[in-house]
């Protein structure tokens, strides 16, 4: 037996997923760099690029589907 999930995706769902994940990733990278700035001083530009790209990618993969497919308030589950 297999388990299949039928998911309807459209342009607005994909935009919501990428936007929510990207905003989450940018927020996390700002937090990481504020901690690094407080502890070590100014971080290297290569570190800024690598950590920001990683945070945005992780945000799109983890937070994006939650934002895209979880029903917003005011919408029914039906």
Residue 74 in any domain: the answer is no
Residue 1 in any domain: the answer is no
pLDDT in the model for residue 76: 56
**What pLDDT digit, counting tens, does each position of 22-62 carry?**
999 999 999 999 998 898 888 888 888 999 999 999 999 99
What secondary structure letter does DSSP report for 43?
A: P
Residue 4 in any domain: the answer is no
pTM score, whole prediction: 0.74
Distance CA 3, CA 19 (A): 29
For the chain, helix (H) and strand (E) counts, in that order, are 2, 0
**What is the tally of structural domains in the chain?**
1
Residue 78 in any domain: the answer is no
Residue 75 in any domain: the answer is no
Residue 56 in any domain: the answer is yes
Could you tell me the residue range of the domain that residue 29 belongs to?
Answer: 11-69
């Amino acid at each position: 037996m297999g388990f299949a999930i039928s998911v309807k995706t459209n342009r607005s769902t994909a935009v919501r997923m990428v936007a929510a994940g990207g905003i989450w990733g940018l927020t996390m990278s700002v937090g990481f760099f504020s901690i690094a700035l407080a502890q070590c001083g100014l971080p290297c530009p290569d570190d800024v690029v690598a950590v920001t790209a990683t945070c945005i990618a992780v945000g799109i993969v983890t937070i994006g589907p939650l934002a895209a497919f979880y029903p917003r308030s005011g919408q029914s589950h039906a």
